[in-house]
Amino acid sequence: MQPVFTAELMRDCDRRAIEEAHVPGIVLMENASRGAVDAIENKYGTLDGKTLVIVCGKGNNGGDGYGVARHALNRGARVTCAQLFPDQERRGDARLNLEILLVEKDVNSDVAFHDIHSPKDLAELLVLESPDLIVDAVLGTGFTGRVDEFLSAVFTTMNEFGCPIVALDIPSGIHADTGTVGGNAVIADLTPTMGGLKQGLLFGDGFEHSGEIVVVDIGMPPSVTMGSPCDTWLVDEEDVWPLLMPHRFDVHKYQNGSIFLIAGSPGLTGAATLASEAALRAGGGMVWLGVPASLNPILEEKLTEVMTVPLAENADHMVSMAAWDTIVSFLSRADAAVVGPGMGRNEETGELIRRVIHEAAIPLVIDADALFALVGYTDVLKDAPAPRILTPHAGEFARLVGKSSRDLPADRIAMTVEFTGTHNVTLVLKGAPTITADPGGAAYINSSGNPGMATAGSGDVLSGIIAAFLTRELPVTDAVSGAVYIHGAAGDIAAARIGENGLISGDLLDALPQALKAVENVWKPAE
């Protein structure tokens, strides 16, 4: 898996590369600059004959910019460095790269420097030079807080000029850990990020502002990056295919995994249908669906392969405590279970849900109305006899921790890891992107999926897929993060076929076999 760093962890890698591995900082900067130019040419073609305006700050991000200027010159570009701060404010490796370029200025007419005292100065320079590319080398990953009025106007000038923008390491104005905008930020088309992925590139405005993201190898020894305490990872197809090993040829349905779902209430039979069919589609060999007895005829009509189980119900036609013995019987026969989709919010039903959560001796996915039933009762999670997997969206998570969505911390990874450690659960925080966090403090960021999946029932499909993956002989976190990836991959396949705007959750079910087949084909490549 590809590691994802906070700004602090990346700085620590830089420090260790310099102090422990004895790689000079200027060498790291040189590799970063050359790698960024490689990324630029890979996207936009040769720089020979192109004009670049590089907007330089005073820190190491500006130093990267001066390095990019030199390498671009070597490849035939014409370069103008737009300097936002006086030369004397530059120190260390950034100063050295500037001095190297100043020597080049004396003998090469294709490099120029302009001091920018106002946004108008930059606007006039851009009109004069009419660049093919603007390079953002202003702030980098050290930025926190809000940009001042001057920088905000500079970023607006860059964004509105109308040519592609390349941001070095991270778009200026974006918080490297949270992806939030500090008042205003550069909107890039390409972001070569140095040494490793930064959290802020994958979330919210950070993702929207970054365009194509390319990780640049800056020459850190493996002992530095692999020895980092970083425990956040990006999950992609390469990480999922080992989880779907081919079955033995003599396998039977019970060996493929048995799943019991408790779901449904009046008006919400769709949630039960989607979750149970997803469990089958994702590889479950036997799926039982427990529903309120009065709804059983409806579900029997809707479902063919899923076996329905009528459960005792209360006056609201929701599952009641009288169903407990039947539920225990099926939990004892299953390898994994799901509780919550469409169950409703009756007080007695909530009590039943909490008992299932507290006592079920198999891995249990807790979703939707089961999450509602947990509000104020999260203590039942700590002593559960088997893994518990919670799948809230941000609103449900906020309710669980007694906050409003607006009051949740900006750092979603730190927030989820804290919760899982406190409550000894695996948490799937649904969103863009979805995060899976485990009790040991690791977090896994999903790389698949699209906005069309923000539709009713999508989470029910995810719950079923997770349950199916939990029946495989896999570590819980691998199973859950792999299921999240497959869910998103099915959404991507569906969106490619019918578009994002018309996508519904049933389309995810239809695309699930194709998503699984794409991963399985790694084991069975086409001849």
Same domain for 187 and 267? no
Report if residue 45 sits inside a domain.
yes
- Domain boundary residue among 211, 230, 249? 230
Same domain for 372 and 425? yes
State phi, psi for 181 to the nearest 5 degrees: -90, 130
Reading the block at residue 479, the tokens are 């199973």
Same domain for 226 and 245? no
- 96-102, Cβ contacts within 8 angstroms, sequence gap of 24 or more: 96/26, 96/63, 97/26, 97/29, 97/33, 97/63, 97/64, 97/66, 97/67, 97/70, 98/62, 98/63, 98/66, 100/66, 100/70, 101/66, 101/69, 101/70
Same domain for 210 and 282? no
Ranges of beta strands (E only) in 448-492 are none
What is the extent of the structural domain holding 41? Answer: 2-230
- Domain boundary residue among 230, 260, 280? 230
Same domain for 245 and 192? no
Pairing of strands 2-5, 51-56: unpaired
Nearest to 447 by CA among 247, 215, 258: 215
Ranges of beta strands (E only) in 227-326 are 232-235, 258-262, 286-292, 307-311
Count other Cβ atoms within 10 Å, centred on residue 208. Answer: 15
Maximum alpha-carbon separation in the chain = 89
Same domain for 315 and 403? yes
CB contact at 8 A, 273 and 302: yes
Q: Provide the H-helix boundaries in 282-425.
A: 296-302, 324-333, 347-359, 369-374, 394-400, 412-423
Same domain for 344 and 418? yes
CATH number of residue 225's parent domain: 3.40.50.10260
Same domain for 30 and 151? yes
Report if residue 449 sits inside a domain.
yes
Pairing of strands 435-437, 426-429: antiparallel
CATH number of residue 316's parent domain: 3.40.1190.20
Triad 226, 229, 235: Cα angle to 5°: 70
**CB burial of residue 523 (10 Å; 0-12, 13-18, 19+):** exposed
Same domain for 157 and 89? yes
Coil, strand, or helix at residue 3?
A: strand
**CB-based contacts of 356: which residues, under 8 Å, 6+ apart?**
262, 327, 331, 337, 339, 364
Same domain for 224 and 288? no
Strand order in the sheet with 197-198: 197-198, 2-5, 232-235, 443-446, 435-437, 426-429, 388-390, 364-366, 336-339, 258-262, 286-292, 307-311
- Domain boundary residue among 199, 230, 261? 230
Neighbouring-strand partners of residue 2: 234
Same domain for 317 and 443? yes
**CB-based contacts of 319: which residues, under 8 Å, 6+ apart?**
262, 265, 290, 291, 292, 311, 312, 313, 343, 349, 352
Report if residue 527 sits inside a domain.
no
Report if residue 302 sits inside a domain.
yes
Half-sphere exposure of 521 (CA within 13 A, CB side): 10
Instruction: Give the count of domains, the chain.
Output: 2
Same domain for 316 and 426? yes
pLDDT tens track, the chain, 527 positions: 899 999 999 999 999 999 999 999 999 999 999 999 999 999 999 999 999 999 999 999 999 999 999 999 999 999 999 999 887 788 888 899 999 998 888 778 899 999 999 999 999 999 999 999 999 999 999 999 999 999 999 999 999 999 999 999 999 999 999 999 999 999 999 999 999 999 999 998 999 999 999 999 999 998 888 788 889 999 999 888 877 766 655 555 565 689 999 999 999 999 999 999 999 999 999 999 999 999 999 999 999 999 999 999 999 999 999 999 999 999 999 999 999 999 999 999 999 999 999 999 999 999 999 999 999 999 999 889 999 999 999 999 999 999 998 899 889 999 999 999 999 999 999 999 999 999 999 999 999 999 999 999 999 999 999 999 999 989 999 999 999 999 999 999 999 999 999 999 999 999 999 999 988 776 655 54
- In angstroms, the CA 159 to CA 26 distance is 30
Report if residue 526 sits inside a domain.
no
- In angstroms, the CA 138 to CA 267 distance is 54
